[in-house]
Structure 1
């Protein structure tokens, strides 16, 4: 049974089209782009034409909405070619989901058609320099002043922030509310006076797309930028959005792990030592067997969470499990791929060193794996067990 068998015929065609794009257009150029940290403008434009930016947006708003299972497999294919390409559409998809689920009809009409084509790019801004995963400790505020909100504060590690036209900003509209999350709201912020993209952060991997610091200093956002039009719902809205975000990160990990396994498997059949291909040496064969087994398990876990999401169920625990297991799996597979390649695995002439640099992002991104374990444990207690 092919993993694509869970999809409709049209969705299988979507995944296959992206797979061909990765093999024909991405793989031949990715090494040079990644090593020079060059923004992949031409590849992003092709992704727009393929409809990748509209995969979470219904047809009535100009998109081509697919199941979450299809979205996971498309993301895996993009990350197999270059994880940064999956990152270039990840936050965009989360914002599209937020607007679709919680936005006013005017907000949907204003943003979703342009987002479906990629003409409007979107990102989300949660993390702050002193807060990390502790969102309730955030200090960014939005104070109502007539027909606008005045925003002050700072965000960090915001992907695509220079090239996105709209930023889903999680902030405090009532800083004095206890508990703190009840005073949070999401503003759909656009670039303008008082909003500065201060610098691009240097990174181990995840090259090509920018991750920046944002500074808000008296930035005025119109009152109708408030997602859904009601204050105080931002934390719950963003937690729902992060279910998609964590599945997207899990899928990125699947792609990176799969690329590393494919390269390691090919190399282990070509490289010989002591008169035989190195895969026949038990230690190398064990690496390959363990990688294939854990990658298959990680994919099934991600697809399980995706099916639960498509059924309309809450999947913070399931998405957290998928993100946790897939990211740890990718880290182990990429490390062992370097081992299988020996000295060549440490060379920038082989792609496995890139996979090894990209894999750690999924461990710390979209909530660290330590946070994922906390979420999973809390949900186990709240639900009364795994199968309750």
Structure 2
């Protein structure tokens, strides 16, 4: 494996279980190891998923996974930790409780099946439907580019229960992956195969009426609540990824001969590297400032700030490091491959343009003059 991607085993409890896996392990394999080691629960307050994420615990788990495994595998873990499991915890039926127990223990993976075949990020335009027939719910539709689709035991499906774009028109449904009418197709993506990425089709899939997660008609509010946490997780992961990439790049520059010294001795190189360090420090500061607001209050503006900053920072740092690695960066598993995967940070969980629009909407509040201290 190239130096650009050398992976150090994480310290602390559970290290042996993660260290026993190859660096090429898939997301489902990493998830299983985390569950067996009791590390998954560390992402939540008091180890209880329903109590919400613990920012420090979540960051610790993501950092440990990023330190050793691929971006695709880390994506698989991140979506489940930050979004899918907290959403699953809103279910009160025995089926939902059982699915949560299995996922938390690492015995099963789950999907967050929100992105519709026809709607993309415009969730109010989705066409996947759920209707009631007697004692059953019937789900029909399709979802594209869903992490963990090929490995999941359960799909968390956002579906339309009535026409229109009103936020009360949508509901989350827990759909067993082996239910008749569920079809899974692996996504044509070598970059994200380890995340179990795939497309889902639901052809008149029947589940019990108790498979609704949360309250019927509260699908979009639940999504907004938990996507905020996913954006926090993404920013925390971005910090780990950028720090590791910069550390490896500095090592490369310090050992790459140039003239009588190394590339690290060149002032222009050091300045370019320092700008990346500055971007990383800025993102770290934002995570520290906004983390509690997102975790405790699901602050949508703080979450959008983190998402926009993470996408911009990862893009700039990975692009610059890719240039600094030169031809060596094109080796298999090298920095250029990581850079291609890292484009996810500007797209997944809401494209940069979407979250920047949310920030613009909040500009009046963000630019309001703070209260002046009393100087009398």
- Band the TM-score falls in, shorter-chain normalisation: 0.7 to 0.9
Equivalent residues in 2 for 1:5-44, closer than 5 Å: 16-17=11-12, 24=19, 29-30=22-23, 33=24, 39=26, 42-44=29-31
- Residue by residue over 1:145-171, the C-alpha shift from the partner in whole angstroms, topping out at 9 and shown as x without a partner, is 011111111100111012112221111
Determine the structure 2 residue equivalent to 1:79: 66
- Residue by residue over 1:240-262, the C-alpha shift from the partner in whole angstroms, topping out at 9 and shown as x without a partner, is 01011112222232232222211
Determine the structure 1 residue equivalent to 2:244: 259
Between the aligned partners of 2:299 and 2:197, the Cα distance in structure 1 is 27
Q: Is the 8 A contact 1:61 1:112 kept in 2?
A: no
Determine the structure 1 residue equivalent to 2:358: 375
- Residue by residue over 1:317-370, the C-alpha shift from the partner in whole angstroms, topping out at 9 and shown as x without a partner, is 11221121122211221122121111101222x631232122101110011011
Provide TM-score, normalisation by structure 1.
0.83
Aligned-pair Cα RMSD in Å: 2.8
Determine the structure 2 residue equivalent to 1:99: 88
Determine the structure 1 residue equivalent to 2:77: 89
SS state of the match for residue 104, structure 1?
Answer: coil
Between the aligned partners of 2:112 and 2:354, the Cα distance in structure 1 is 19
Q: 1:377 to 1:212 in 2, by over 3 A?
A: same
Between the aligned partners of 1:278 and 1:21, the Cα distance in structure 2 is 37
User: Are 1:130 and 2:114 an aligned pair?
Assistant: no
Between the aligned partners of 1:370 and 1:21, the Cα distance in structure 2 is 41
Q: 1:330 to 1:385 in 2, by over 3 A?
A: same
Determine the structure 2 residue equivalent to 1:324: 308
* Deviation of 1:67 (Å): 1.5
Count, aligned residues: 359
Determine the structure 2 residue equivalent to 1:55: 42
Q: 1:60 to 1:262 in 2, by over 3 A?
A: closer
User: Are 1:268 and 2:250 an aligned pair?
Assistant: no
Equivalent residues in 2 for 1:147-186, closer than 5 Å: 147-175=135-163, 178-186=164-172
Equivalent residues in 2 for 1:100-119, closer than 5 Å: 100=89, 102-104=90-92, 106=94, 109-119=97-107
Q: Which runs of 5+ in 1 are unaligned?
A: 1-14
User: Are 1:277 and 2:262 an aligned pair?
Assistant: yes
Determine the structure 1 residue equivalent to 2:348: 365
Provide TM-score, normalisation by structure 2.
0.86
Determine the structure 2 residue equivalent to 1:8: none
Q: 1:260 to 1:347 in 2, by over 3 A?
A: same
Of the three residues 198, 212, 217, the one matched with 1:212 is 198
